[in-house]
Each structure stands twice: as structure tokens, then as C-alpha cells.
Amino acid sequence: MTDHQRRQLADYGRRLLADRLTTGTGGNLSIALRSEDMIAITPSGISYDEIKPEDISLLDFSGRHLEGCPPSSEWHLHLALYRSRPEINAVVHTHSRFATTFALLHEPLPACHYLIGVARAKEIRVAPYATFGTKKLARKTVAALGNHDRCILMANHGLLAVGEELMEAYNTALYIEEVAELYYRARCLGTPVLLSEAEMDEALIRFRSYGQKATMMAS
Ligand SMILES: [Zn+2]
């Protein structure tokens, strides 16, 4: 684990506040360093604008605390995601307002905008509720996310995005929150027109062909 990687997590934590994806200590971020059998995760109970690189918590893949402050209460969830999805190396979890609004309704975000495709899916589904910080929540969320999707709503809780690297997972969370806000606004004014299966298939081909850069080229 390098200083650069710890600083990157602390910096993205501050971005969560600046981009209004969270307030105070809500949500959490992590990266996996598979070659070192280690994950780095934001600490528990420290406001994002106060997290220093040395506060970042390091755990091994069995969940043993190695260094830094005590980990976010959702460390079971982060570890379970890395164990079940070998291609992902970053997890972003937020309680962002518009996505969480739909999570309270247990209502998936449909294909109302092509940017839903950043999640490599045609809709953002809702994982069942379980108490925060539990292995049960980790198990249910991992099962609901499946083997391909990059983003899911967590019932009565928030949003979860995964990616091959932190910037990708973060941008996915940011774009899906933006789509949730647009969909909410459109629903206030009328009935949004959804994209067809074929239109989403075409968008998904483009997102997949751009690989990791997909969340950067979405414009
Ligand atoms: Zn949470």
C-alpha cells in the first residue's frame, strides 16, 4: 500500500462531500490490492473533510485489521464484494439523496437515460434490506448485484457502485445519482419516456467496448 493510494482514498472522500454524494461520515470507499492480499477502506466515524492518509484502514482479505484507524462499519460488505467479483478493485458506497429516494421506495431506476449503461445494466435494481454493517447485508447485496452489474440500490439505505479502479466506481456512483435526480424531476412533471431494450443494448455495446474508460467518455 503506497502513500499515493492512501491519499487517493482520502481525496475521493472529500470529493464525496464536494459532489454532494454524502454528508458527514455517511458512505464509504475502498480499494483492493490483490497482489498484497489487502484492502484499504475509509475509517469509521471520521468526517470526510478530516480524514488524513494515515487514517485509512488496512485489512487483509480475512478481515484482520492491519493498520490505520478502525475500518468503516461496512467492511464486511466491501470484502464480500471483492471475494465474489475478482475483476473489481474499487467499491463506492453512498447515501446520495436522489438514488436513496428510490431505494426507500424499493423502486429500480429504469432505462430513462442512456447513462444507466455505465452500470453495465439496463436498470439499477434494488438489493433487499438488512441491518447496516452486518454480514447479512453483505450477503444479500452481493447476491443481488450478481456477476456483471456495476451499481445497485440498497433498500432503505443507499447506493453501491463497483469498478476496476476507484475513478471508475466513483464516476458510476456520480452518474447514477445524476440520473436518479433527472428521473425524479421528470416524474414530478409527467411520465418519463423510457429507452427500449434495443436502444439500451446499443448503448451497452458502446459502454462495454470502451471498457474502463466508459465512465470518462460518457458525455
Ligand atoms: Zn451506508
Catalytic status, residue 123:
no
Dist. CA 8 → ligand 1 center (Å) = 20
Rg (CA), the chain: 17
Catalytic member of 36, 50, 54, 74: 74
| Start-to-end C-alpha separation, the chain | 33
DSSP strand pairing (57-60 vs 38-41): antiparallel
Give the model confidence (pLDDT) of 60-79 as tens digits: 999 999 999 999 999 999 99
Place 122 in a pLDDT band, splitting at 50, 70 and 90.
very high
Return the SS3 of 153: strand
Q: Which domain holds residue 97?
A: 3-217
Dist. CA 145 → ligand 1 center (Å) = 16
Q: What is the pLDDT of residue 96?
A: 96
Of the candidate ranges 3-7, 120-124, 169-173, the one whose mean pLDDT is the lowest:
3-7
Separation CA 69–CA 213 (nearest Å): 32
Q: What is the pLDDT of residue 25?
A: 80
Place 4 in a pLDDT band, splitting at 50, 70 and 90.
confident
Dist. CA 35 → ligand 1 center (Å) = 28
Please, are residues 200 and 114 in contact by the beta-carbon 8 Å criterion? Answer: yes
Dist. CA 190 → ligand 1 center (Å) = 31
Q: What is the pLDDT of residue 80?
A: 98
C-alpha torsion angle, residues 155, 134, 161, 97 (rounded to 10): 50
- Which of 24-38, 45-59, 90-104 has the largest mean confidence? 90-104
Dist. CA 77 → ligand 1 center (Å) = 10
| Residue-level length of the chain | 219
Q: What is the pTM of this model?
A: 0.94
CATH number of the domain that residue 132 is part of: 3.40.225.10
Give the model confidence (pLDDT) of 157-205 as tens digits: 999 999 999 999 999 999 999 999 999 999 999 999 999 999 999 999 9
Separation CA 164–CA 176 (nearest Å): 17
Beta bridge partners of 68: none
**Structurally, how many domains does the chain consist of?**
1
Average pLDDT for 4-28: 91
Dist. CA 185 → ligand 1 center (Å) = 24
Separation CA 89–CA 55 (nearest Å): 20
- Helix boundaries (H) for the chain: 3-18, 75-84, 97-105, 135-145, 166-189, 197-209, 214-217
Task: Look up residue 17 and give its three cell numbers.
Answer: 462531500
Q: What is the pLDDT of residue 1?
A: 66
Where are any strands of DSSP class E within 7-84?
28-33, 38-41, 57-60, 65-67
Give the model confidence (pLDDT) of 127-152 as tens digits: 999 999 999 999 999 999 999 999 99
Dist. CA 215 → ligand 1 center (Å) = 23
Q: Over the chain, what is the mean pLDDT?
A: 94
